[in-house]
Structure 1
Amino acid sequence: MISVEHVNKRYLTRRGYKTVLHDINFQLKKGEKVGILGRNGAGKSTLIRLISGVEPPTSGTIRREMSISWPLAFSGAFQGSLTGMDNLRFICRIYNVDVDYVKRFTEEFSELGEYLYEPVKKYSSGMKARLAFALSLSVEFDCYLIDEVIAVGDSRFAAKCKHELFEKRKDRSIILVSHSPAAIREYCDNALVLEEGYMHSFPSIDEAYQYYNKS
């Protein structure tokens, strides 16, 4: 289970502290798939970073009783002067997974070819996303965090990503943050709405949609 309890997040700006998330509470059980609807600037990406552990909350608690991926296609942790392969080996050491398997999977899935052996700082944003997505799927997690990245690359590559994530790993938990109701309806069992940093829960996706469309 993942339990988010009274979580707040604020950042220091030129005008003082700005609170981005206000008293967020929800739970996710193993195998559940929840969508978080929110418009741009609602705090969705911040919440994903907190759940993944990339950033700590300002206050409150996030309890993780299952393994959680980093945000899919998140490339902020890559060391730019190292090659894609060097970054891959580093991630394998952190998660204690088989380097040969991850290498084979990433080479085939990312389709980066010789660029996998070039410094990441030479990559385009799309290439970084492909590498990050491939690495995310090469390590098996109980829960995958998805931050608006289902459409990585062209339509063919995006279809491959969807099959790998939503078909081959359909038994896993998913937290999908999006401003696209269609994506959440297609992949999730229920939905929450994040509005100006406040979380609203609903008994069904339809009711979440109704609230989201009115807001």
Structure 2
Amino acid sequence: MIQFENLSKGFWIRRQYQPVIRNLNLTLPSGKSMALLGGNGAGKSTLLELIAGTMAPDRGRIISDGTISWPVGFGGSFHRDLTGAQNTRFLARVYGVDTEELADFVQDFAEIGKHFYMPIRTYSSGMRSRLTFGISMGIHFDTYLVDEVTAVGDQRFRRKSQLLFRDRMQRSSAILVNHNLNELRAFCDSALVLHEGRLRYFEDLDEAIKHHEQLLA
């Protein structure tokens, strides 16, 4: 369960306050894989960071009765001057999992070779995404926040990522951002639509997609 209470967030742009989330009050159910739909600039990544706690709201709060991952694909949880291996072991200690077991899992999954022992600042965006996805999937969370990363890499790696993610969804919830509607249909059973600072929950994914497309039109 994730609950939003009077949540608001915006940014100052050219001396004008631009709201992204407007006084949101909503409770998200547990055990659901939810697509997060919204136009470009609607605030989807901002909402994920608010849920993860990597960004503070202007007002209100978010309450959860379970553990929540960082936004997969967002590098803010990682120290750029530490290696992939060092970041992996650090996060293992933070979340209370076996350090070597997680390091072995991530090194095998991410397939970045010797770069695993090199500073993250030397990584390409694709390697960072492989690392963050691998670490998050190697740690059990009640809710995973995922932003496009199942599309990283070649077809074989994407298929491997999707199979791993599908396995995790057998026992966890998720909020996914993905512009590929076919992938959303493959992984999600409900949806959230973010538009002009308002967030609406849909039990039916196809109904949400239809509503989202009407808003874009």
The CA deviation at 1:172 is 0.9
Q: Which residue number corresponds to residue 138 of structure 2?
A: 138
Q: Which residue number corresponds to residue 174 of structure 1?
A: 174
Q: Which residue number corresponds to residue 195 of structure 2?
A: 195
Deviations 1:35-85 (A, max 9, x none): 121111111110000001111111122001101111112222221111111
Mapped pair 1:207 → 2:196:
no
Q: Answer yes or no: is the 8 Å Cα contact 1:40–1:179 preserved in 2.
A: no
Q: Which residue number corresponds to residue 102 of structure 2?
A: 102
Q: How many residues align?
A: 215
Mapped pair 1:153 → 2:153:
yes
CA shift in 2, pair 1:33/1:169, >3 Å: closer
Q: Larger deviation: 37-46 or 193-202? A: 193-202
CA shift in 2, pair 1:116/1:203, >3 Å: closer
Q: Answer yes or no: is the 8 Å Cα contact 1:24–1:199 preserved in 2.
A: yes
Give the Cα separation in 2 of the matches to 1:201 and 1:92.
33
Give the Cα separation in 1 of the matches to 2:149 and 2:45.
11
CA shift in 2, pair 1:148/1:50, >3 Å: same
Q: Percent identity?
A: 42
Q: Answer yes or no: is the 8 Å Cα contact 2:33–2:188 preserved in 1.
A: yes
The CA deviation at 1:212 is 1.3
What amino acid maps onto 1:127 in structure 2? Answer: M
Q: Larger deviation: 5-14 or 111-120? A: 5-14
1:27-66 correspondence to structure 2 within 5 Å: 27-66=27-66
The CA deviation at 1:203 is 4.5
Q: Which runs of 5+ in 1 are unaligned?
A: none
Give the Cα separation in 1 of the matches to 2:203 and 2:64.
24
Give the Cα separation in 1 of the matches to 2:202 and 2:168.
28
Q: Which residue number corresponds to residue 163 of structure 2?
A: 163
Q: Which residue number corresponds to residue 77 of structure 2?
A: 77
CA shift in 2, pair 1:181/1:26, >3 Å: farther
Q: Which residue number corresponds to residue 91 of structure 2?
A: 91
Secondary structure of 1:69's match? strand
Give the Cα separation in 2 of the matches to 1:30 and 1:20.
25
Q: Which runs of 5+ in 2 are unaligned?
A: none
TM-score by length of 2: 0.92
Q: Larger deviation: 117-126 or 192-201? A: 192-201
CA shift in 2, pair 1:194/1:66, >3 Å: same
Give the Cα separation in 2 of the matches to 1:119 and 1:177.
28
Q: Answer yes or no: is the 8 Å Cα contact 1:37–1:181 preserved in 2.
A: no
TM-score by length of 1: 0.93
Q: Larger deviation: 182-191 or 62-71? A: 182-191
The CA deviation at 1:12 is 2.2
Q: Answer yes or no: is the 8 Å Cα contact 1:73–1:136 preserved in 2.
A: no
Secondary structure of 1:54's match? coil
Q: Answer yes or no: is the 8 Å Cα contact 1:88–1:103 preserved in 2.
A: yes
Q: Answer yes or no: is the 8 Å Cα contact 2:33–2:169 preserved in 1.
A: no
Q: Answer yes or no: is the 8 Å Cα contact 1:41–1:196 preserved in 2.
A: no
CA shift in 2, pair 1:203/1:93, >3 Å: closer
